[in-house]
Structure formats: C-alpha cells, structure tokens
Amino acid sequence: MTHPFYVYGSYGFAAAMIIAVIAWTWIDGRLRRKEIAALEASGIRRRSQRPPEGKAK
Amino acid sequence: MSDISPAISRFSDLANPTRFLALSARLIPWLAAITAVLFAIGLHLAFSTEGDYQQGDTVRIMYIHVPAAWLSMMCYTIMSMSAIGTLVWRHPLADVAAKAAAPLGAAFTLVALVTGSLWGKPMWGTYWVWDARLTSVFILFLMYLGLIALNRAMDDPSKAARVTAVLILVGFINIPIIKFSVDWWNTLHQSESIMRLDGPTIDAQFLWPLFTMALAFTLLFFTLHLMAIRNEIWRRRIAAQRRLAARMAAREE
C-alpha cells in the first residue's frame, strides 16, 4: 500500500462521519418515538387516533 | 374527486404525512439492507482492484471522494425542488424534506472536502488551494450550515419554511458553478472525467468500484433522508400535541 496515511485517513474519516450521521438519525427517531409513547400514555392523542366522541361517553 | 387522474391521486396520496410514514416504514429496512450489501461489494472492489500506475493506492480515495461530492450536489438539488414545492404548491412534506436533507448534505460535503484534501496532499503537494472548484464546494458547505442555522433561528415554522426556501433557491446558482468550474476556470482540480459526452476517461477497472460505491452512497442518502423526514414529521406532531395539551389544560383551569 502506497500513501497509507492518506488512504486509510480518508476511509476512516468517511466511516466516522457516516456512522455518526446514521447514529444521530437513528437515536433521534428513537427519542421521538419515546416522546409519542409518553404523550399517548398521558392520554394526549392525535384527533384521528382518538375514539369517536359518542363511543367515549 | 372521482375525475382526478390516477397519477395526481398517487402524488397527493404521498403528500399525506400518515401515508408517507406507512410507506417509509416499509421502504427503510429494504433500502438499508441493499445499501449495506452495496457497501460490502463496493469496499471489496475498492481494495481488491489494482492501484493507478501514477497515483498508486491514493486512487482508492476516489471511491469515496467522488460519490460524496456527487451527493453534496444532488442533496442541494433535492432541497431546491423541495423549496419549489414549499413556495409554489405548499406541499405539506416539501419543507420537511428540505429541512431533513440539509444536515445530510452538510455531512457529505464535509466528507468530499476532507477526502479531497487528503487526496490533494500526495498528488498536488498541498492539502488546499483556493481554486474555483474547491472554493465553490466550500461555499456549498457554508450554505448548508447557514440554512440549518436560519431554519432553526425562527420560531414560526411556516415563516422559517418560506424564508429558507427562498434562500435555498437563491443558493442553487452555486450548483452549476461547482459543476462547470473546472471548465470555466483554470483549476488545480482535474476537469470532468466521468460524465463526458465522449465517454469516461477512466479505465473500466476503476469505474466498477466507483459506480458501486456511488450507488451505495446514493441509497444511503435516501435511506437516511427517509428516516430524517419521518423524525421531523414525528417532531412536528409532538409539538402540535403538546400545544393541544397546553390549551386543554388552560381550558380546565
């Protein structure tokens, strides 16, 4: 391998960036799902997910 | 709505965030799996093919530098189309798509800049020169950061969407400048060697790993973009539900 510092440095930086972006997107999704679950658990739902008014009574 | 054509009907179906969430939930695992397979094949090809007779093994940097540079421009083009969707059709997902794409575009542009710099040192004798190609890509990176900051600096989401969309469209002028900078000006960066009317000037043994990695990077972008759009839809729904809860609590008091 010629110029290993530059070749492995490039692949290492690209891998680190890609892993960071994947992790950030995935963790963001997990946190949002948890927030939605917490809201639903406290009885706050979207209008389309609420039972019809008549049936609720 | 019975006279609406099937094509328009399908398009308007996708405009519905709930339908988009259902579709993305089905697509994301498949896209992620295909991306992983393509990266495995691409990396195998990238390190099993011969080095260049002049550049040696540094030619392998091309397999990540060129796809990242392509994506940096493709991402901005997608953001520009989303900006048109925001300003002209008020498409409910257009602003979400543009906002979700900006950090991804910034990340891929940074990868292109750093890998290009690491390729430049052994080949050109310097990490950086302020030539037209490098400078215009650096401006693209700054624009991504500026758009992210601008969008997050405003409290009113609909105003933030419109202002950001206008700035995205103004900034689109940089994309043809990046593309043709190597033809219009004397640059240290080489001129176009793949997308040419007379065919690529690169040997086929370098093209296969390059195309495989480019496809892998592109699918990675679309997988991450779908995930980021989904996260943004959830974020906006959570904010709406919190506002609703606050109103209900205020009414009860």
Residues from B contacting A (CB-CB < 8 Å) are: 18, 51, 56-58, 60-61, 64-65, 68, 103-104, 107, 110-111, 114-115, 118-119, 121-122, 220, 224, 227-228, 230-231, 234-235, 237-238, 241-242, 244-245
A33 contacts chain B (CB < 8 A): yes
- Give the pLDDT of residue A56: 46
Provide the 8-state DSSP code for B188.
S
Q: Which residues contact B229 (CB under 8 A, 6 or more apart)?
A: B20, B24, B93, B96, B97, B100
pLDDT at A47 over 80: no
Shortest Cα–Cα distance, B198 to chain A (Å): 30
Shortest Cα–Cα distance, B240 to chain A (Å): 9
Give the whole-angstrom CA distance, residue A19 versus residue A22: 5
- Give the pLDDT of residue A57: 40
* One-letter amino acid of B207: L
Show the tokens assigned to B121: 């040192």
- Write the DSSP string, B129-146: ---HHHHHHHHHHHHHHH
A49 contacts chain B (CB < 8 A): no
Distances (CA, A) of A48 to A13, A44, A45, A52, A56: 45, 12, 8, 9, 14
Chains A & B: contacts with CB separation below 8 Å: 85
Comparing CB atoms, the residue among B51, B64, B227 nearest residue A29 is B227
- Say whether A39 and B227 touch across the interface (CB within 8 A): no
Comparing CB atoms, the residue among A7, A21, A36 nearest residue B58 is A7
- Give the pLDDT of residue B136: 95
Domains along chain B with CATH numbers: 18-252 (1.20.120)
CB A21 within 8 A of CB B228: no
- Say whether B65 and A10 touch across the interface (CB within 8 A): yes
The gap from C-alpha B170 to its chain's centroid, in whole angstroms, comes to: 17
Centre a 10 Å sphere on the Cβ of residue B215 and count the other Cβ atoms it contains: 17
- Give the pLDDT of residue B253: 72
Shortest Cα–Cα distance, B26 to chain A (Å): 16
Could you give the count of Cα atoms lying within 13 Å of B234 in the half-sphere of its Cβ? 22
Q: Which of B241, B236, B233, B239 is nearest to B21 (CA)?
A: B233
- Say whether A6 and B58 touch across the interface (CB within 8 A): yes
Give the whole-angstrom CA distance, residue B212 versus residue B1: 44
Q: Which residues contact B126 (CB under 8 A, 6 or more apart)?
A: B120
Contacts of B18 in chain A (CB under 8 A): 48
Beta bridge partners of B52: B56
pLDDT band per the 50, 70, 90 thresholds, residue A2: confident
- Give the pLDDT of residue B217: 97
Closest chain B CA to residue A10:
B115
A37 contacts chain B (CB < 8 A): no
Contacts of A46 in chain B (CB under 8 A): 237, 241
Q: Which residues contact B5 (CB under 8 A, 6 or more apart)?
A: none
Determine the number of helices (DSSP H) and then strands (DSSP E) in chain B: 8, 0
> What pTM was computed for the model?
0.89
Comparing CB atoms, the residue among A3, A22, A36 nearest residue B58 is A3
- Give the pLDDT of residue B5: 64
Torsion-angle region of residue B233: left (phi > 0), alpha (psi -120 to 50) or beta? Answer: alpha
Centre a 10 Å sphere on the Cβ of residue B152 and count the other Cβ atoms it contains: 12
* B84 three-state secondary structure: helix
Show the tokens assigned to B33: 């799996």
Query: What averages of pLDDT result for each successive group of 10 residues across chain B (253 residues)?
Result: 58 76 94 97 92 83 96 97 93 91 97 96 93 95 96 89 95 94 84 72 84 97 97 93 85 77
- Give the pLDDT of residue A39: 87
CB B141 within 8 A of CB B183: no
